[in-house]
Amino acid sequence: MGTESRLVRWICWLTVITAFFMTGFLIGWFARPTSTDTSNDEDSSRSMRDFLDEMRAENIREHLRKFTRLPHLAGTKQNLRLAEEIKEEWLEYGLDSVEMVPYDVLLSYPNTTQPNYISIVDHLGNQVFNTSLAEPVPEGYENISDIVPPYNAFSAQGQPVGDLVYVNYGRTEDFSQLEREMKINVTGKIVIVRYGKIFRGNKVKNAAFHGASGVVMFSDPADYCATGVQPYPDGWNLPGGGAQRGNVLNLNGAGDPLTPGYPAKEYTFRYRLEEGVGLPKIPVHPIGYHDAIHLLKNMGGPIPPNNWKGALNVSYRIGPGFTDTFQTQKVRMNIQTNNQVTRIHNVIGRVRGAVEPDRYVILGGHRDAWVFGGIDPVSGAAVVHEIVRSTGRLLRRGWRPRRTIVFASWDAEEFGLLGSTEWAEENAKVLQDRAVVYINADSAIEGMYTLRVDCTPSLHTLVYKVTKQVSSPEVGEEGMSLYESWHKRDNWTDDRDAPRISKLGSGSDFEAYFIRLGIAAGRARYTKDKKTERYSSYPVYHSVYETFEVVDRFYDPSFQRLRAVAQVRGGLIFQLADSQLLPLDASQYADSLTKYAHSIAQLGQKHQDALITYGVSFDSLFSAVENFTTAASSFHERLKTLDRTDPLQVRMANDQLMYLERAFVDPLGLPGRPFYRHVIFAPSIHNKYAGESFPGIYDALFDIEHAANPRRAWEEVRRQISIATFTVHAAAMTLTPPA
Amino acid sequence: MGTESRLVRWICWLTVITAFFMTGFLIGWFARPTSTDTSNDEDSSRSMRDFLDEMRAENIREHLRKFTRLPHLAGTKQNLRLAEEIKEEWLEYGLDSVEMVPYDVLLSYPNTTQPNYISIVDHLGNQVFNTSLAEPVPEGYENISDIVPPYNAFSAQGQPVGDLVYVNYGRTEDFSQLEREMKINVTGKIVIVRYGKIFRGNKVKNAAFHGASGVVMFSDPADYCATGVQPYPDGWNLPGGGAQRGNVLNLNGAGDPLTPGYPAKEYTFRYRLEEGVGLPKIPVHPIGYHDAIHLLKNMGGPIPPNNWKGALNVSYRIGPGFTDTFQTQKVRMNIQTNNQVTRIHNVIGRVRGAVEPDRYVILGGHRDAWVFGGIDPVSGAAVVHEIVRSTGRLLRRGWRPRRTIVFASWDAEEFGLLGSTEWAEENAKVLQDRAVVYINADSAIEGMYTLRVDCTPSLHTLVYKVTKQVSSPEVGEEGMSLYESWHKRDNWTDDRDAPRISKLGSGSDFEAYFIRLGIAAGRARYTKDKKTERYSSYPVYHSVYETFEVVDRFYDPSFQRLRAVAQVRGGLIFQLADSQLLPLDASQYADSLTKYAHSIAQLGQKHQDALITYGVSFDSLFSAVENFTTAASSFHERLKTLDRTDPLQVRMANDQLMYLERAFVDPLGLPGRPFYRHVIFAPSIHNKYAGESFPGIYDALFDIEHAANPRRAWEEVRRQISIATFTVHAAAMTLTPPA
């Protein structure tokens, strides 16, 4: 072999070897994942399917059965025992950790030896009629002790005596009508008010503001009986002996009345009872419609307008006082309810996130009930229990969510959202930094018609996506998705062709998370047909008749509806915890803001002259909303080209999505309500239940035509528009590229 | 060749090729970075050296010269022109973007046609003495127009006439002494108060609270002249004709008085002037000591205690009024100062972060000056300018910081920190989410002795590290580090063997960032020897004599001290922007909290009996601090084993470090001060300048022995201890593992 050919051969060799080396190198280079973030959306969606399929109707029935055997009022032994049971089972299901978190908060109970009641007394002071001391106990529960009689928690103590005045629903407008049109003054009178339309605490606040010395609340069949339905136990209507319990606080998000702003721990400073937040200064007591007839039937005074008339066979005269031969009779309230600082217990369960343990997806609902809590809250708690079980099953199969999931069983919701608010207060800083979303899980069913979702606009898209993956629970709709079933029944006709989603109001545990801390939030439950069913809430609400049976016999015999709700709540949690990119939609927020801006401007435009006189304009708000809309759509445009293999790029985008809701919170709070801080969504000061958009502007405009000082009143409107404008601009800024 | 040997040969071939392929693969596999986070601390520290070395004394001199030629009062054309110049140069230096950010805020100027002055009037109303209308202009500046005469911005207008009362420094304790011991009531009197010890706005607030009808401020040589130093221009003492300008607001962090809580934009609602935050209701005017002699020399009333006596050749009698033959003479103030909404301009420059563009490291200082601003603020602004230049040089060489750097030239600091506060308000949400640190850059020199650093405890470790990399600027200390030079001159003897670092107070632009938003913050400047130099601030402070020359001739002729300050400020920014792990130290925070808890408990322990009577204990606070200490040390322990190649692990740890400072902020604010929200650090209500630790507790304890209702007063102490306890626990929680 010549040297030349040997050289050629060596060159060939070298070339081949180099080629193989390079091939190896390149394969090695590209085979190596460039990121520790090995999220895989396909795996995730397979797990989602497993997760939803794992939830069983019969299990939910079991949980409901088990959790409704005994009363479990907040602050009682039974409710602590239930907490311990839940903790044990969550651990058994496989959560990473479950802890009990106690607080010492102000609760309120009737005096066990001196019962509360209302009397009609004659001119000698003899009681000629007394309201009943308890509801007739439903069959099968006769031997149960510790059923708390109907009462209004946090009522003041006292025995006011006086003439009755009927004030309809006790709304701001009812009292206005009473004073302005009927010229009736309630000062020193006992007002009788029907439940419904607004939160009962607002009724009491209005009554006290107008000088009433006491409040009697009653459930009118017009508001608490559906037509063609029998009273419980033959149907799901409220019987005449049933009454609605409930607190009459005006907390405006403060949580424990004695420790506003701070968790009620052993070291926490407590205000004196007289200084407590939101405690009414007058006695309040609830009665059923059988008792109400006795109080109403002999009332004198003017005949009321038709919309003040309920469905009882009485004339609904306004008073004050009784008529004719009954004129000398008065009404006396006998209220001995006690406030006392009591220990409550939240149960907090956790699943550690695999990739971003410092991002929290929270599913929380309360455990405490007025009595058995068949609907409120156990229909919801049973659903959470099944979601936890399903989560545990997936964990055992090796799945672990990208983010941390927190499950919460709150205590003392019925006493003012106390458990959830104290925990939010204790964890405020960590939640501010890390909470992605809060999904609420109170009552899962209040009707038999279709789904109801209230949530922040950024969750709309996800809610539609999830409900498309859930089957309709309705008989005859096999193969139909929940989305289609819902869409068919409750279309969002005015705006778009999709199922209606509503604004979050208040009255459940999401309040501190959403309205105070600015964490994206939502709730889902099964509901009635609002177009045809005009009663308030559901008829047996907060009565002893909220049993296992009311659900098992009437609301959801197959437990398919509760299963569907479980799949919606669980599906939301799953997607938010496991998607690589957070499924939050800023553009939906933009659409909603546009709608809200138009509707609040329309409300203002009712006062064209005043707008001109006082130089009030909504232009800046519209321009801010436009700016936000552009920022949101550019943000989502950029997301499309995001390098999903770069964990920091993903994290930065997710941070922008997570903090968007936070941007709508003003640390200064709404006027006079330091714990209601969300500038876009909060209840009006006139009704805690309903969510208003741009609540600051809304309240400033409320009844402005009767303002004592119109110039000041319109100045406040201008100020509120300016705050809303600023807030929307600030939120837009969080969506622009960070540098 | 046999088939066997051919086979062997092929096997050899295959083996070799496979080996090369595998080698290639493995090299490829391991050569590929697993993370886009390619931080390299070695590269970074080399760049840091380049960055510090790039800063030049002669450049700083140039910048100072250029920026002090003309007066540049906030709201004037000159200051806008200066802003534009700075913007241009920052762009030339190479920043990624520079923008002007305007706001329309309330400023205050003397009336140009009706000058402010103070008269002595005889019983006929004739002016027998008038104070001077301006300071004698220093040599070389005779032809400069637009030198605003000495005045107190935001003084009320008016011509109060009355007897003078001398109230020493006008502190809370001075007024107490006056009322309790000397039994002198200042109601309806004009008080004359010497500058020094506390913020002038607090003096005015105290005077107004006690009923004074006007306030005359004077600079006493005891407080504004160093011994053995000549008055300017022969030395750096305040001449007798010089007077201290300055605002007399009590904003407590509100920013623009008409738009508290919100940026002063075109859409922003403005309160009426009468409703503005912190505006004094009485006239206030400053004078020099030559004029003060005329007002003081004939005063009657008691001889004051020795610590009320200044260094003028007068008796410092308290009054009220003049003595003997002068008894009929009164003092009249003639104040015509106008408040007016005026446009101001911040300049904001940015360097986009390479890895985490959504993390902001901010260096901000003001540009506006009362006149030339030789020291305040241009010594600081010149330093910032050189830091920006050096940053630009590095950028041109290919370096880019890991995080985004923001440079700010604030406007209207002298009118209440307005520019910086409005920008903080406008960007609050984004800063809350993303700001790592705020380094303040006001006056860089106030003495010729050594370094002075005030910062949050988590920056202590970094400050020591950076100062070890900077050379001492002192003659004769060649080869010595700034750290050693500083350590030698100002050792923290009581606690540890290291240079003293102080708490942040207020009175400069870090306020909104640190005390309102809870962003880690610090400041550094060259200072005097506090042990021997007892004058307030520096003598020519806020007078026309703050020129380029006062620095060039006296404070820093070589400009080495300013260079050292530039290197400290710049070094901090560099490390915070470029280190992979944030150089913040939670354990230092723990140490400081321990020290503060002891010192506030000691203050409480002065009232042993009351502590027992009212059930006040500091135990919960100590236990919270212990809890925090454990959490901090475990956190740093875990950091040691952190996988630095995992970008999400690094990000999560950094987030905990970044949000630590945020955890000390209470959205409810300190009592009555909604914009002072930091529970650990804020000024006392008695003096804006000095930072107090646990300010809520401190203020509750202040003068408690004279409380009108001791039970209430001690209840407030308990409440404040409880808030502090909660806050420290909440901060500890942010340091524990996130799930």
**Across B134-157, average pLDDT:** 97
d(CA A254, CA A417): 9
How many C-beta atoms lie closer than 10 Å to residue A554's C-beta?
19
**pLDDT value at residue B494:** 67
d(CA A594, CA A603): 14
Interface test with B, best of A14, A25, A395, A658 (most B CBs within 10 A): A25
- Flag whether the pTM goes above 0.90: yes
pLDDT in tens, A99-151: 999 999 999 999 999 999 999 999 999 999 999 999 999 999 999 999 999 99
Interchain CB distance below 8 Å, B734 and A652: no
**pLDDT value at residue A90:** 98
Phi, psi of A134 (to 5 degrees): -155, 165
User: Which residues on B lie below 8 Å from A265 (Cβ)?
Assistant: 726
Q: Is the pLDDT of residue A350 over 90?
A: yes
d(CA A261, CA B671): 13
User: Which chain A residue's Cα is nearest to B663?
Assistant: A429
User: Which chain A residue's Cα is nearest to B423?
Assistant: A730
**pLDDT value at residue A565:** 98
Interchain CB distance below 8 Å, A20 and B25: no
Q: Is the pLDDT of residue A37 over 60?
A: no
Phi, psi of A91 (to 5 degrees): -65, -45
Interchain CB distance below 8 Å, B35 and A35: yes
Coil, helix or strand at residue B120:
strand
Interchain CB distance below 8 Å, A719 and B265: no
Q: How far is CA B352 from the centre of its chain?
A: 26
| Bridge partners of residue A502, in order along the sequence | A454
How many C-beta atoms lie closer than 10 Å to residue B497's C-beta?
8
Interface test with B, best of A30, A270, A726 (most B CBs within 10 A): A726
Q: Among B429, B316, B714, B343, which Cα is nearest to A667's?
A: B429
pLDDT in tens, A636-648: 999 999 999 999 9
Has B686 been annotated as catalytic?
Answer: no
**Across B79-101, average pLDDT:** 98
Q: Is the pLDDT of residue A633 over 80?
A: yes
- What the block records as the tokens of A719 is 């100020």
Interchain CB distance below 8 Å, A34 and B36: yes
Q: Is the pLDDT of residue B232 over 90?
A: yes
Nearest CB partner across the interface for B21, out of A23, A30, A739: A23
**E strand or H helix that includes residue A438:** strand A435-440
Half-sphere exposure of A102 (CA within 13 A, CB side): 9
Has B490 been annotated as catalytic?
Answer: no
Q: Of these residues, B58, B433, B617, B646, which one is catalytic?
A: B617
Chain A: nearest CA to B429, how far in angstroms? 6
Q: Is the pLDDT of residue B6 over 90?
A: no
d(CA B35, CA B643): 12
**pLDDT value at residue A349:** 98
Has A678 been annotated as catalytic?
Answer: yes
d(CA B296, CA B307): 16
d(CA B488, CA B476): 14
Chain A: nearest CA to B471, how far in angstroms? 34
**Across A41-52, average pLDDT:** 90
**Across B367-394, average pLDDT:** 98
Chain B: nearest CA to A734, how far in angstroms? 6
Chain B: nearest CA to A585, how far in angstroms? 19
Q: Is the pLDDT of residue B35 over 60?
A: no
CA distances from B499 to A424, B440, B488, B571, B666 (A): 41, 20, 8, 17, 31
Interchain CB distance below 8 Å, B32 and A29: yes
Interchain CB distance below 8 Å, B34 and A29: no
Q: What is the CA radius of gyration of chain B?
A: 29
Q: How confident is the model at residue A311 (pLDDT cuts 50, 70, 90)?
A: very high
Percentage of chain B lying above the pLDDT 90 cut:
92
**Across A332-354, average pLDDT:** 98
**pLDDT value at residue A567:** 98
Half-sphere exposure of B254 (CA within 13 A, CB side): 20
DSSP state of A403: E
How many C-beta atoms lie closer than 10 Å to residue A132's C-beta?
18
Q: How confident is the model at residue B21 (pLDDT cuts 50, 70, 90)?
A: confident
More confident residue, A515 or B11: A515
**Across B131-158, average pLDDT:** 97
**pLDDT value at residue A258:** 98
Q: Where are the alpha helices (DSSP H) in A397-444?
A: 418-426, 428-434
Interchain CB distance below 8 Å, B428 and A730: yes
Percentage of chain A lying above the pLDDT 90 cut:
92
**Across B491-498, average pLDDT:** 81
Q: Of these residues, B220, B291, B411, B413, which one is catalytic?
A: B413
pLDDT in tens, B295-333: 999 999 999 999 999 999 999 999 999 998 999 999 999
**pLDDT value at residue A405:** 98
pLDDT in tens, A393-445: 999 999 999 999 999 999 999 999 999 999 999 999 999 999 999 999 999 99
d(CA B278, CA B106): 12
Question: Residues, chain A, total?
Answer: 739
**Across B705-715, average pLDDT:** 96
d(CA B604, CA B594): 15
DSSP state of A217: E
Q: How confident is the model at residue A44 (pLDDT cuts 50, 70, 90)?
A: confident
**pLDDT value at residue B505:** 94
**Across A42-48, average pLDDT:** 87
Phi, psi of B199 (to 5 degrees): -65, 135
- What the block records as the tokens of B323 is 């003595």
Q: Is the pLDDT of residue B4 over 90?
A: no
Q: Is the pLDDT of residue A30 over 90?
A: no
Q: Is the pLDDT of residue B33 over 70?
A: no
Has A234 been annotated as catalytic?
Answer: no
User: Which chain B residue's Cα is nearest to A663?
Assistant: B429
Q: How confident is the model at residue B607 (pLDDT cuts 50, 70, 90)?
A: very high
User: Which chain B residue's Cα is nearest to A662?
Assistant: B429
CA distances from A712 to A172, A494, A672, A719, B577 (A): 20, 35, 16, 10, 48
**Across A675-691, average pLDDT:** 95
d(CA B26, CA A326): 100
d(CA A158, CA A611): 47
Q: Of these residues, A43, A495, A617, A643, which one is catalytic?
A: A617
Nearest CB partner across the interface for A268, out of B30, B662, B726: B726
User: Which residues on A lie below 8 Å from B674 (Cβ)?
Assistant: 668
**Across B109-137, average pLDDT:** 97
- What the block records as the tokens of A52 is 């939803």
Interface test with B, best of A358, A422, A661, A716 (most B CBs within 10 A): A358
Mean pLDDT value across chain B:
96
**pLDDT value at residue B3:** 63
**Across A264-284, average pLDDT:** 98
User: Which residues on B lie below 8 Å from A18 (Cβ)?
Assistant: 20
CA distances from A564 to A452, A475, B350 (A): 12, 13, 51
Q: Is the pLDDT of residue A230 over 90?
A: yes
Interface test with B, best of A429, A434, A616 (most B CBs within 10 A): A429
User: Which chain B residue's Cα is nearest to A643?
Assistant: B36
Chain B: nearest CA to A267, how far in angstroms? 6
| Bridge partners of residue B105, in order along the sequence | B342
**pLDDT value at residue A7:** 78
User: Which chain B residue's Cα is nearest to A27?
Assistant: B25
User: Which chain B residue's Cα is nearest to A22?
Assistant: B24
**pLDDT value at residue B22:** 77
Q: How confident is the model at residue B14 (pLDDT cuts 50, 70, 90)?
A: confident
CA angle, B662 as apex, B468 and B660 as ends, to 5°?
A: 55
**pLDDT value at residue A353:** 98
Q: What is the ipTM of this complex?
A: 0.94
Beta strands at B435-440 and B127-130: parallel, antiparallel or unpaired: unpaired
Q: Which amino acid is at B186?
A: V
Q: Is the pLDDT of residue B357 over 90?
A: yes
**Across A374-389, average pLDDT:** 98
